[in-house]
Amino acid sequence: MRPSAKALEEILAALPDDTEWLFPSARRGEVDKPAATLRPNFEMVRQIVGMPEVGFHDFRHFFASQCVMGGIDYMTIAKWLGHQDGGILVAKVYGHLNDAHQRSAAKKLTF
């Protein structure tokens, strides 16, 4: 038997009897119900590991905050976030997070 056929046979043998899927998603409850989106799987894992309630937008906010505090210019962050305003919203929402960034930028000025 070829190695790939052997691997497939092992996968098939390990599947639960009541599944119709070759690669089922994680079981939720007593039935093999596939997830339509990533959110139910994320929620299940979040609960298992005891992570506080958090949503995908929280990760986006965290990313943008880290970018600002890392000194990345607002226009670049806005582009990464898909904003069309050239960084205005990033500046309004996140601009206050890092005073050191503003002081550093001011030191770059020469007259």
23 — phi, psi (to 5°)? -125, 75
| 35 has a pLDDT exceeding 60 | yes
Mean pLDDT (whole number) for 25-42 = 71
> Is pLDDT larger for residue 44 or for residue 109?
109
Q: What pLDDT is attached to residue 28?
A: 61
Q: What pLDDT is attached to residue 15?
A: 83
Going by C-beta distance under 8 Å and a sequence separation of 6 or more, which residues neighbour residue 81?
Answer: 60, 64, 90
User: Domain map of the chain by residue range?
Assistant: 3-49, 56-107
- pLDDT, one tens digit per residue, over 85-99 is 999 999 999 878 777
pLDDT-derived band at 84, boundaries 50, 70, 90: very high
pLDDT-derived band at 19, boundaries 50, 70, 90: confident
Task: Give the chain's count of helices (H) and strands (E).
Answer: 6, 0
Q: What pLDDT is attached to residue 67?
A: 92
Mean pLDDT (whole number) for 101-106 = 78
Mean pLDDT (whole number) for 55-75 = 90
Residue 71 · residue 104 · CB < 8 Å: yes
Residue 80 · residue 86 · CB < 8 Å: no
What letter represents residue 16's amino acid? P
